[in-house]
Structure 1
């Protein structure tokens, strides 16, 4: 078409490594050029129309970051192009990395200078990618100089984020995000966090799909709002925090409904005392009302303090005229709370002896005498507590084994206040410091999490503990590298799942910590997608008459505690255009049926298998079938006794003719007569041959 070719970029500094992709209409060409520095390449692209017109003469820059960028590759999917390249901006620390940027067909760069799509310490080079209909699949060479190199790969979603990462970003706003907490309401999680002296939140489902495009402003009052806690109650979440709007710290809160709407616009003053500070709140629910507890500072010097609390109704109204005295001492701090067996268990640190104490609180507000929970030699601080519906598990930071390093210990406590593990449970005991514990119950196990500090990085780890107190994962299961300033938080979700919240540094735009989440699905090995499976019937290019019954192989799941559901896609387009594709989801059997309005045409079908945590596997094939109406005399899309009646009326009672007439010729002898009536009766009721293409 262009025997002499045509120029796309002829800049005097030179360009090389071209690659090209199409959006189905025009083209986008990627290449690297040395325009800013004769020794370091940058990434450029140029749009080319289908008729060969170059829309961006000499191209425009996608990435001109420091270091060398070269060897770009490009693909198109779901409305945007994705360009990947080798990037040397971090060469001194990690060598070459893989960066990428999304570009719209109109030429808008959605990720200026690109964002890193890999998070590994070794080098990544020579990327390539393809669109699979759902996500991009990227591959590259991975290794270090002087060693054998491997091929690695990830799926990348349409936002440019790795789908194979343990983490998913909940918020990437500019300011630092810390102290994340979350709760589950039966259908979605609410995550909340500190950000620029205010509190924000977002909802996510159990697959990690964010339900709010923008963060929910939980509280934007003047001065500081810090250290939030959140739980689900009877019909709403309750978030509480320490608040400095009155120039001393008070406890405020708001209710948030399942749709993410804040129900108390100016927030609720749960306890505001101008003469004292109230710090470090925690909240739990008995399914009807809430109990909020906090550290009450008793003197201006902050040398004496106790744990107080107040009950709130589901509507946020206080049920106690004055706070409940939870702890009787003079130096109690770091409270936490959970509900089980008709009673709350509040726990705290006694700062005189650095031991862990607790008290039971019933739903009427009666407080038990203190319970000695963790009083072994050495320091025990910062307790957290969760319930399995019958008993409690309390975990804490323990200095008694590896002083001055910190370990994670714990014990179970019954709903009557009996300590069930008198010698304690050793959950994480290594030579590295373990701190900032959190704990939840996922329906099968208690799950305790913590922050593990090493010389050059900080890890988020967790361990499962049975209801009987057996620790299943010594030293814990690695989840993610996190910010050294991050807290850890864990909350239960659907049975077997927990949502983990933590802060990770993100280089763009200000190299500050952002809130990330990860799901733990209750097993130490990674969650695997369902096994490969094939379509069975109708076979490719089969002819189908009337209602369509589709069968495929079972896609068993390699994880023994997991299960699979299916989504069936049937479309008159082999591109499965959404507007014309019939989608049937949540199928538990490997079969389905569809009634299609239009016949005498081809349809394509495929199946997606998905486990309960969102891992997917597509059928090995995409097959087509021809839908015909042979024998559908009345044209209602089905072949049944009504077609027999229709033919009898046409032949013997002056009724309307089949449309087309060939639809009334199921025996295919090119004549519509009583033999066709007999043929249909044999097919429908006597196991006779299927209707044939009519020719009448």
Structure 2
């Protein structure tokens, strides 16, 4: 695999049902960067919250959808929803493609990681620090993981004094992807050689299995990684999902992973709360979405409740993207939900569902096409435009920033955000 393919107006925020008794307000759209005279393609938003300066850093991939050149940009958003970098901040403009950013904060500053094709042969993992005042401390980034094959799909969190980066690495043990990890200090020093955290025949079960599409979540004293596993013959692949607990001090796995069962080829969603975690796993096969499963995990990543299968509107070749964030009170699940008319996708909107951590959330009917307004609330949906790639990131208690892409025309994708606040 070589290539992978306005100001906040608090006065006009809408007050909505949070789905399980709570009320939420959703702000008007926040223009993270202004509109430009020429179209721009801003995609794959990811964000992190820094407690000390009270702001989010939103990173994205900028470049036409089919172009062989794409860069990493970012911008800060204050806790009250005010955008702080109207011109945007260019993080990396190296040759060829930079894709799939992920962001974490040590509470003061930020680290952005991404997959990078600057060598012209395969992807490597690069990273750059960004200060709370918006300065890029490592222009164009520094190498985290390289090699003869792809090192890609990186994700990052901060725990126990270090940034922890996990990515999928090709060729570590045969022609397959496995997951590797390393630690990076707040000063930008790579602390470890790439550590293999999934092993064929052991943590993966099948000696021919691949591990890919990791997502990561953490509290100060623990780290969980959810990912997908492809077993067996490449002509008859069976996909399942798993969760692995990582020691935040050493960066090494803590025991075998927890098998979560069947999955689609899309990334799961994962977030932690003080008592455990919640994971959502998309379901489906042959491009046909059939919903997702929710699992309640304890602090070690062990399943303690679930799975609860939740129906979702089906659309051929369209599996909704999910994200989860814990705002200190409740979980917020976001989903890119297609608006189906006569069996066709006419629009995509970003919807949200609030779920308390102390009881199993959502009924099986919660995401059914004709019940979505009863259980959930609209986060982003304007006219006939597509709003998609929603990503939720918690800030101060009861506040979640949801960044998303609004499709305004061919090769014209605008990055926006909305602030969701629990009452």
TM-score normalised to the size of structure 2? Answer: 0.77
Q: Are 2:181 and 2:251, in contact at CA under 8 Å, matched by a contact in 1?
A: no
Q: Which residue of 2 aligns with 1:405?
A: 289
Q: Which residue of 1 aligns with 2:321?
A: 436
Q: Are 2:387 and 2:407, in contact at CA under 8 Å, matched by a contact in 1?
A: no
Q: Which residue of 2 aligns with 1:471?
A: 361
Deviation by residue 1:337-384 (Cα, 9 ceiling, x = unmatched): 1113622111110022311112111121221343234215x6474112
SS of match in other structure, 1:317: coil
Q: Are 1:412 and 1:469, in contact at CA under 8 Å, matched by a contact in 2?
A: no
Q: Which residue of 1 aligns with 2:250?
A: 364
Looking at structure 1, the residues matched to 397 and 230 of structure 2 have their Cα atoms a distance apart, in angstroms, of 37
Looking at structure 2, the residues matched to 190 and 250 of structure 1 have their Cα atoms a distance apart, in angstroms, of 23
Q: CA deviation at 1:201?
A: 1.1
Q: Which residue of 2 aligns with 1:184?
A: 49
Is 1:514 the counterpart of 2:414? The answer is yes
Q: CA deviation at 1:389?
A: 2.8
Q: CA deviation at 1:491?
A: 0.2
Q: Are 1:466 and 1:472, in contact at CA under 8 Å, matched by a contact in 2?
A: no
Q: CA deviation at 1:304?
A: 0.7
Counterparts in 2 of 1:170 and 1:211: CA distance versus 1, 3 Å: same
Looking at structure 1, the residues matched to 275 and 289 of structure 2 have their Cα atoms a distance apart, in angstroms, of 33
Match of 2:218 among 339, 362, 382: 339
Larger-gyration structure (1/2)? 1
Q: CA RMSD in A?
A: 2.8
Is 1:246 the counterpart of 2:119? The answer is yes
Looking at structure 2, the residues matched to 224 and 254 of structure 1 have their Cα atoms a distance apart, in angstroms, of 16
Looking at structure 2, the residues matched to 492 and 165 of structure 1 have their Cα atoms a distance apart, in angstroms, of 15
SS of match in other structure, 2:136: coil
SS of match in other structure, 1:488: strand
Is 1:286 the counterpart of 2:172? The answer is no
Runs of 4+ residues over 6 Å off in structure 1:
none
Counterparts in 2 of 1:381 and 1:175: CA distance versus 1, 3 Å: closer
Q: CA deviation at 1:512?
A: 1.2
Q: Which residue of 2 aligns with 1:168?
A: 30
Q: CA deviation at 1:428?
A: 5.2
Looking at structure 2, the residues matched to 335 and 323 of structure 1 have their Cα atoms a distance apart, in angstroms, of 16
Match of 1:325 among 196, 210, 213: 196
Match of 2:405 among 499, 503, 519: 503
Match of 2:352 among 462, 468, 471: 462
Looking at structure 1, the residues matched to 46 and 287 of structure 2 have their Cα atoms a distance apart, in angstroms, of 29
Work out which structure has the larger RCO, using CA pairs closer than 8 Å and 6 or more positions apart in sequence.
Answer: 2
Is 1:383 the counterpart of 2:262? The answer is no
Q: Are 1:293 and 1:309, in contact at CA under 8 Å, matched by a contact in 2?
A: yes
Looking at structure 2, the residues matched to 430 and 470 of structure 1 have their Cα atoms a distance apart, in angstroms, of 22
Q: Are 1:374 and 1:380, in contact at CA under 8 Å, matched by a contact in 2?
A: no
Q: CA deviation at 1:420?
A: 1.4
Q: CA deviation at 1:405?
A: 2.3
Q: Are 1:284 and 1:338, in contact at CA under 8 Å, matched by a contact in 2?
A: yes
Q: CA deviation at 1:225?
A: 0.4
Q: Are 1:277 and 1:297, in contact at CA under 8 Å, matched by a contact in 2?
A: yes
Looking at structure 2, the residues matched to 341 and 417 of structure 1 have their Cα atoms a distance apart, in angstroms, of 15
Counterparts in 2 of 1:299 and 1:484: CA distance versus 1, 3 Å: farther
Q: Are 2:276 and 2:296, in contact at CA under 8 Å, matched by a contact in 1?
A: yes
Q: Are 1:457 and 1:484, in contact at CA under 8 Å, matched by a contact in 2?
A: yes
Q: Which residue of 2 aligns with 1:445?
A: 330
Looking at structure 2, the residues matched to 190 and 492 of structure 1 have their Cα atoms a distance apart, in angstroms, of 12
Deviation by residue 1:62-117 (Cα, 9 ceiling, x = unmatched): xxxxxxxxxxxxxxxxxxxxxxxxxxxxxxxxxxxxxxxxxxxxxxxxxxxxxxx9
Looking at structure 1, the residues matched to 107 and 411 of structure 2 have their Cα atoms a distance apart, in angstroms, of 40
Give unmatched runs, 5+ long, in structure 2.
Answer: 1-5, 12-25, 64-69, 201-208, 232-237, 340-344, 368-375
Q: Are 2:214 and 2:227, in contact at CA under 8 Å, matched by a contact in 1?
A: yes
Q: Are 2:287 and 2:319, in contact at CA under 8 Å, matched by a contact in 1?
A: no
Counterparts in 2 of 1:367 and 1:335: CA distance versus 1, 3 Å: same
Give unmatched runs, 5+ long, in structure 1.
Answer: 1-116, 118-134, 138-163, 523-560, 562-696
* Structure (1 or 2) with the greater strand fraction: 2
Q: Are 2:42 and 2:413, in contact at CA under 8 Å, matched by a contact in 1?
A: yes
Q: Are 2:297 and 2:303, in contact at CA under 8 Å, matched by a contact in 1?
A: yes
Deviation by residue 1:19-50 (Cα, 9 ceiling, x = unmatched): xxxxxxxxxxxxxxxxxxxxxxxxxxxxxxxx
**Number of residue equivalences:** 356
Looking at structure 2, the residues matched to 249 and 346 of structure 1 have their Cα atoms a distance apart, in angstroms, of 21
Q: CA deviation at 1:165?
A: 6.8
Q: CA deviation at 1:479?
A: 1.3
Match of 1:493 among 386, 395, 411: 395
Q: How does 1:58-97 map to 2 (within 5 A)?
A: none
Q: CA deviation at 1:500?
A: 0.6
